Amino acid sequence: MKVLILEDEVPAQMQLKRLFSVYYPDAVIAAVLDSVDKAVRWLALNSADLIMMDVELSDGICFELFNRVTAMPPVIIVTAYEHYALAALKKSAVDYLLKPVGDTEFVEAVEKCINPPATPRDLWSLGKLVNQSQEFKQRFVIKVGDQIFVIKTQDIAYFFSEEKSTYIMTREGKPYLSDSSLESIEEQIDPKEFFKLARNCIVSITAINSISKFFNSRLRIELLPPYKQPIIVSRQRVPAFMRWIEGEAE
């Protein structure tokens, strides 16, 4: 079994290595990497049977790896944070372990990869169970020169991307440049309160100023504070958008 460890903290790297040496001495630790970019480059040239992966890596959130690698091996998430559990389930992670990882739960998780159950996991039921204690991001920290601003999530109207940069628009109409990608932000916010209208915009329910029909069964959305242009919801996204408007998260 070839194992790739994605972890940017040395003590956590050492603990995973120890657990494999004790319980799976024949396993080969093919690489230990600390960033999404390094993992993408490594997986383009190499293969692994299992990835042990922390959520918060040196260059961002690990879930971006799923968007950049087409064929992912089984993944076990190992993190200190509970609030990423639902996002991990959406990406079909095999298991979700909280640090510090216990020996028993480590073995149980790896065994799920080696000997997968005859019937698939009921991810929807598990997702609902996790969601009962789900904690979404409550604030974003923004650095502007020598200043640091703390923006409460409840004060955000929408997130948008433009020319490979991501911005946070507050309800007061002030845009702030964010270090996070739109994809990583989407994994951290409450889907009952925010919806991805288009590839470049995630909006709060409170920021929708008007909704009107548009040709070819699409919808035209105007935001407040105003976005530079109305946003068109594709025909494929309209049913999900209407369910969200009515109070049903995707």
209 and 119 part of one domain: no
**Parallel, antiparallel, or unpaired for β 218-223 and 208-214?**
antiparallel
Amino acid identity for residue 215 in this structure: F
Residue 250 belongs to some domain of the structure: no
pLDDT at 169: 96
Return the beta strands (E) in the chain as ranges: 2-6, 28-33, 50-53, 56-57, 60-61, 75-79, 95-98, 139-144, 147-152, 156-162, 165-170, 175-178, 194-198, 201-204, 208-214, 218-223, 231-233
Where do runs of H (alpha helix) occur along the chain?
Answer: 10-23, 36-45, 64-68, 85-90, 103-114, 123-131, 182-188, 238-245
Per the CB < 8 A criterion, the answer to whether 219 and 212 are in contact is yes
110 and 161 part of one domain: no
Per the CB < 8 A criterion, the answer to whether 205 and 241 are in contact is no
> Which range marks the domain in which residue 160 is found?
143-245
Residue 137 belongs to some domain of the structure: no
Cis ω before 225 (30° cut-off from 0): yes
Tens digits of pLDDT across the chain (250 residues): 999 999 998 999 999 999 999 999 999 999 999 998 999 999 999 999 999 999 888 887 888 888 888 888 999 999 887 777 767 776 778 888 888 899 999 999 999 888 876 544 444 444 444 444 456 888 888 888 888 889 999 999 999 999 889 999 999 999 999 988 888 888 889 888 999 999 899 999 999 999 999 988 899 999 999 998 889 999 888 988 998 988 765 5
pLDDT at 226: 94
81 and 152 part of one domain: no
Residue 182 belongs to some domain of the structure: yes
Q: How many structural domains are present in the chain?
A: 2
pLDDT at 143: 85
177 and 118 part of one domain: no
Residue 138 belongs to some domain of the structure: no
Q: Is the pTM here over 0.75, yes or no?
A: no
Contacts 24+ apart (CB under 8 A), 14-18: 15/100, 15/101, 16/52, 16/78, 16/101
95 and 37 part of one domain: yes
| Longest CA span, the chain | 62
Residue 136 belongs to some domain of the structure: no
**DSSP letter at 100?**
S
Point out which residues pair with 75 in neighbouring strands.
Answer: 51
123 and 163 part of one domain: no
Rounded distance between C-alpha atoms, residue 104 and residue 110, angstroms: 10
**Parallel, antiparallel, or unpaired for β 218-223 and 60-61?**
unpaired
Single residue among 131, 155, 187 that ends a domain in this structure = 131
Rounded distance between C-alpha atoms, residue 230 and residue 219, angstroms: 10
191 and 152 part of one domain: yes
63 and 127 part of one domain: yes
Single residue among 131, 160, 187 that ends a domain in this structure = 131
238 and 167 part of one domain: yes
Q: What is the CATH number of the domain that holds 95?
A: 3.40.50.2300
76 and 152 part of one domain: no
28 and 121 part of one domain: yes
Single residue among 131, 151, 186 that ends a domain in this structure = 131
